[in-house]
Amino acid sequence: MTEENQVLIRYGEIGTKSRPVQKEMLQTLRQRVQDKLEYEEIETEKISQRKGRVIVETENTGETVEALKNLPGIVSISPAVKTDSSIDSIKKASEKFEYGETFGVDATTASNPISSMDINREVGSHVEEFTGSSVDLDNPETWLGIEVKEDETFLFTRTVSGPGGLPVGTQDEYLSLVSGGIDSPVATYKMMKSGADITPIYFYNKPIAAEDHLLRFEAVLDKIREYHPGKKWNYYIVDMEEVNNKLMEVGKGRMILHRKIMFKVAEKIAEKEGLRGLVTGESLGQKSSQTARNMENTSSEIKKPLMRPLLTDSKNDITEKAREIGTFELSEINSACRSLAPENPATELKEHRLKQLEEEIGIDELVEKALQSTEKKEL
């Protein structure tokens, strides 16, 4: 019976940074791990950091791995057994695992008088003797990993992949347009995976959208918060009723105007809050407003950086990621945008026509009305 009481957390991209930056990011990753485990109410004895690793000491290794497997900054996780670094102790610790009919041993060493090859051979012979299993270094049923440090060694037979990237909060903060649909929560998560901090903004498409759309957004936001639970989350809700009532008078071009107003409102809020830029869930060609021409139309006047982390992702890839991070099931209500769009939306709206429509609806006045209807809330 395995007696794992350690969890090894590996990182990757952090290791490419300069030493001072590595140190700061590693401390942040350790804090993010602690925040997440406290949020999930998982008891731990100790959370420490080493070169190349964050280590959690806990009797709840399975729950810990499950809680951390999608946490930005983590490359992989292994529940492990800890022992000292003598070969006899390592052999003894290897007896605490269950093995299949075939196994292999893969040791790495640091400042240890015994080479990794010698450890592989000696521990392999020992496991073979007490289990009766056969060595197979090509495709074994069980791999025994051994990480040998100067004064401690960790053994494990399971490694769970993480998302990689950087810990949340090690880069700038952005205002993310979150609809509660499938795409925008994934875009938000991908920015967080790149180290960005996030403030969400929701454009409440009244009178088309009912309250269940707002509830969907709040449920999605609650899930996104799980990837940075130590933060005090604020978010914005923009009442779009006056804007939408005016836009319903427009035929082709309505959705372009709608998105352009959203971007203008979002940029003004980002400027007020000192945020670096905007984030959207746009993906090239997936909607009429997301053709190359229309994305240029909607964002050409925005001066702040506009991040589109899903720009070239397929719908299947986006959906799969939504399932992984737990937002997909929360995003199944039909979005208001489908009701707002005309039967034949414009995919290539000419610039002169767009300017004409902007004058007809009084776009600057609508932007101001939307700003006046904006409410800042705390999650």
Q: Is 179 in contact with 266 (CB distance < 8 Å)?
A: no
Task: Tell me what pLDDT residue 345 has.
Answer: 65
Residue 152 identity (one-letter amino acid): E
Q: What is the DSSP letter of 182?
A: S
Task: Tell me what pLDDT residue 287 has.
Answer: 80
Q: φ, ψ for residue 142 (rounded to 5)? A: -135, 125
Residue after which a domain boundary falls, among 161, 194, 219: 161
**Within-domain flag for 168:** no
Domain match, 148 and 210 both:
no
In order of 182, 253, 294, 351, 366, the CA distances from 260 in angstroms are 21, 11, 10, 13, 11
Residue 177 identity (one-letter amino acid): L
Strand partners, 377: 235
- Containing H/E element for 80? strand 76-83
**Within-domain flag for 47:** yes
> Which residue, among 2, 4, 50, 57, has the nearest Cα to 26 in the 3D structure?
50
Residue after which a domain boundary falls, among 127, 161, 195: 161
Our count of domains for the chain comes to: 2
Domain match, 232 and 152 both:
no
Domain match, 354 and 226 both:
yes
Domain match, 298 and 189 both:
yes
Domain with 373 in it:
173-378
Q: Domain with 195 in it: what CATH number?
A: 3.40.50.620
**Within-domain flag for 256:** yes
**Within-domain flag for 40:** yes
Domain match, 319 and 240 both:
yes
Domain match, 144 and 236 both:
no
Residue after which a domain boundary falls, among 161, 186, 212: 161
Task: Tell me what pLDDT residue 347 has.
Answer: 63
Domain match, 108 and 155 both:
yes
Helix (H, G, I), strand (E, B) or coil at 199: strand
Domain match, 154 and 210 both:
no
Task: Tell me what pLDDT residue 333 has.
Answer: 58
**Within-domain flag for 181:** yes
Q: What is the DSSP letter of 101?
A: S
Give one DSSP letter per residue of 104-164, joined into a string.
Answer: EEEEEESS-SS-HHHHHHHHHHHHHHHH-PEE-SSS-SEEEEEEE-SS-EEEES--EE---
Structure tokens that stand for 354 in this block = 């767009």
Q: Which segments in the chain show pLDDT lower than 50?
A: 1, 335-336
Indicate the angle between helix axes 363-372 and 351-361, nearest 10 degrees.
Answer: 60
Q: Domain with 103 in it: what CATH number?
A: 3.30.2130.30
**Within-domain flag for 167:** no
Domain match, 193 and 292 both:
yes
Domain match, 193 and 135 both:
no
CA dihedral for 379, 279, 213, 372, sign (positive or negative)? positive
**Within-domain flag for 166:** no
Max CA pair span of the chain? 84
**Who contacts 274 (Cβ-Cβ below 8 Å, separation ≥6)?**
none
Domain match, 13 and 154 both:
yes
**270-314 pLDDT per residue, tens:** 999 999 999 999 999 888 778 888 899 899 999 999 999 999 999
**Within-domain flag for 287:** yes
Give one DSSP letter per residue of 221-258, joined into a string.
Answer: HHHHHTTSTTS--EEEEEE-HHHHHHHTT--TTHHHHH
Cis peptide before 167 (omega within 30 of 0): no
Domain match, 178 and 77 both:
no
